[in-house]
């Protein structure tokens, strides 16, 4: 079992940066593909970023490409999401996910409980 705990969310103004962390426990995530999703009120959960086991490959949704950066530190069993130039439409609950194969389908083995990010205009 892998437990994922997100942190770093909060209320910020548009244009600033925020870094989310996803700390894993239970077992090493070094063999897992990791990803970030978000869900805004009244909307479906949306894939936003994924990173391969080694961190050598990353994938982004068009909505965040160029503004968000996913990274991982396998030694710390932690994944990060650096969010720059935040916009009000980035407001959502952000979830971390892990899967042995891929996270982009949303059918992930493990999920965190989420952290709220609110961006005011």
99, 106 Cβ separation under 8 angstroms: no
What percent of the chain shows pLDDT beyond 70?
100
Q: What is residue 104's predicted lDDT score, i.e. its pLDDT? A: 86
d(CA 43, CA 27): 32
Instruction: Give the model confidence (pLDDT) of 38-51 as tens digits.
Output: 999 999 999 999 99
End-to-end Cα distance, the chain = 40
Q: What is residue 20's predicted lDDT score, i.e. its pLDDT? A: 98
107, 82 Cβ separation under 8 angstroms: no
Instruction: Give the model confidence (pLDDT) of 49-105 as tens digits.
Output: 999 999 899 999 999 999 999 999 999 999 999 999 999 999 999 999 999 998 888
| Residue 106 clears pLDDT 90, i.e. is over it | no
Residue labelled with tokens 């990010």? 117
- Give the confidence band of 35 by pLDDT, cuts at 50, 70, 90: very high
The three-class DSSP label of residue 119 is strand
């Amino acid at each position: 079992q892998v437990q994922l705990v997100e942190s770093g969310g909060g209320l910020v103004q548009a244009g600033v940066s925020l870094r989310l962390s996803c700390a894993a426990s239970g077992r090493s995530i070094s063999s897992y593909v990791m990803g970030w999703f978000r869900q805004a009120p009244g909307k479906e959960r949306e894939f936003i970023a994924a990173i391969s086991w080694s961190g050598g490959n990353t994938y982004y949704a068009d909505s965040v490409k160029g503004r968000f950066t996913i990274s991982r530190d396998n030694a710390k069993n932690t994944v990060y999401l650096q969010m720059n130039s935040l916009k009000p439409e980035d407001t959502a609950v952000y979830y971390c996910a892990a899967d042995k194969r891929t996270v982009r389908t949303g059918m992930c083995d493990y999920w965190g409980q989420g952290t709220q990010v609110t961006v005011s205009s």
